[in-house]
Amino acid sequence: MNHQNEIMIKEDTTDENGLNTMSDHENTKKGLGEKWPEPTVRVQSLAESNLATVPDRYIKPPSERPDQTIIINHQPQTAAINIPVVDLNSLFSGNEDERERMSEACREFGFFQVINHGVRPELMEAAREAWRSFFNLPVEAKEVYSNSPSTYEGYGSRLGVEKGAILDWNDYYFLHYLPLVLKDLNKWPSIPSNIREVLDEYGEELVKLGERLTGVLSSNLGLKEEQLKEAFGGEDVGACMRVNYYPKCPRPELALGLSPHSDPGGLTILLPDDKVVGLQVRYGDTWITVNSHPHAFIVNLGDQIQILSNSIYKSSEHRVIVNSQKERVSLAFFYNPKSDIPIQPLQELVTSTNPPLYPPMSFDEYRLFIRTQGPRGKSYVESHISPLDN
Ligand SMILES: O=C(O)CCC(=O)C(=O)O
């Protein structure tokens, strides 16, 4: 039995419907309280202190270092495989080839890029530039937004609360859009002066895009167009954003900007840095460096889609590499199920030969794993497979 299953069994707090009832108070007891286990060190400060190497706590074990793994596409001119590009406008105008491309990309990679998606390029640029300006502020100006493990909202520098963990080379900002009760503008940065306004509009547009994409995924799975959204909680879906800032790294071959992980939620809509590559997607034993199309969003399926689709669609593992020449900024927008409803394989996708692979669990409970232990490949969704059926 692996470690994650052990956690689930020892801490079984499910009610008679199989839904977890763990309270915030209990989350706090698990270590997701107001304090990180060690003093917070901003990666930006390390990067600006002209170190010749990276401190030990950022050095990955040899087998996990980027120079020890096979990478495809590292030089764009040698691009061998790329994440498929889907023209959403054309798909909605009835182009079946685009629909098929998206369906295949979901099965093969769990990743695709979308262009002509309806979000204005100027808004995308404004959001990216607002965040670049924020991260370029002196560290002290950002400290007022310093986050804690209890909600992760605000300015942070680690995922997971395990003492002594090897950390990733990034700082980030996490904020909520939906449900509205969690949207708290006071927890959003106020500098640069336009940032809240830009982010507000950006969030509205991305929620709409999330809905449209979920509709296509649903139809592609042979379901009614609105069915996945309904399974996400209908009008009560969740939405949040993590903005990643990867400072220059003096020894990029030893560290990672973000360790391998699959996203715990529904869909992730990523606005990558337009100037610096870094995102890599696992493809068998290799890692594909994503070369993004101008004005594209990169979309990936999260663990909740894998669970709802009973593994017909898989969430995919990805990571971020860093470099010594340029900092990198990316905006990851998460379109998620309502956090307290049971998520389990949809009846329509369960058959006698394809029995339900996952027991019901709310997203709130599910994401505790990543919030507690940090990124760990696909171990959370894999350990969640129902022991009764396998
Ligand atoms: O920075 C990137 O390109 C990817 C970020 C990511 O995977 C995440 O925020 O979950």
pLDDT, tens digit (0-9, with 9 covering 90-100), for 187-221: 999 999 999 999 999 999 999 999 999 999 999 99
pLDDT-derived band at 1, boundaries 50, 70, 90: very low
How far is Cα 27 from Cα 124, in angstroms, rounded to an integer? Answer: 35
CB 173 within 8 A of CB 141: no
Closest CA to 40 of 148, 116, 117, 123: 148
Torsion of CA 356, 358, 364, 367, to 10 degrees: -140
> Which residue type, as a one-letter code, is found at position 361?
M
pLDDT at residue 188, rounded to an integer: 98
Distances 288 to 116, 131, 330, 369, 390 between C-alpha atoms, Å:
24, 26, 18, 26, 31
- pLDDT 10s digits, 128-138: 999 999 999 99
Ligand 1 centroid to 140 CA: how many Å?
Answer: 25
pLDDT tens-digit series, residues 347-388: 999 999 999 999 999 999 999 888 999 999 998 898 888 755
Residue nearest to atom 8 of ligand 1 (CA): 332
Q: What are phi and psi of 33, to 5 degrees?
A: -90, -150
Helix (H) or strand (E) holding 101: helix 96-108
Is the CB–ligand 1 distance for residue 267 below 6 Å?
no
The closest-lying atom of ligand 1 relative to the alpha carbon of residue 328 is 1
pLDDT category, 69, cuts 50, 70, 90?
Answer: low
Q: Is 243 in the pocket of ligand 1 (CB under 6 A)?
A: no
Q: For residues 386 and 390, what is the distance between their CA atoms, to the nearest angstrom?
A: 7
Confidence of residue 285 (pLDDT cuts 50, 70, 90): confident
Helix (H, G, I), strand (E, B) or coil at 332: strand
Neighbours of 322 (CB within 10 A): 31
The pLDDT of residue 343: 97
* Per-residue buried b or exposed e for 68-102, using 16+ beta carbons within 10 Å of the residue's own CB: ebeebbeeeeeeeebbbbbbbeebbeeeeebbebb
Residue with CA nearest ligand 1 atom 3? 279
Q: Peptide bond before 192: cis, by omega within 30 degrees of 0?
A: yes
Distance 129 CA to ligand 1 centre (A): 17
Burial track 259-298 (b if 16+ CB lie within 10 A, e otherwise): bbbbbbbbbbbbbbbeeebbbbbbbeeebbbbbbeebbbb
Query: In whole angstroms, how far apart are CA 134 and each of 5, 139, 188, 329?
Result: 40, 10, 11, 11
Q: What domains, with CATH codes, occur in the chain? A: 4-380 (2.60.120.330)
Question: d(Cα 359, Cα 20) in Å, to the nearest integer?
Answer: 11
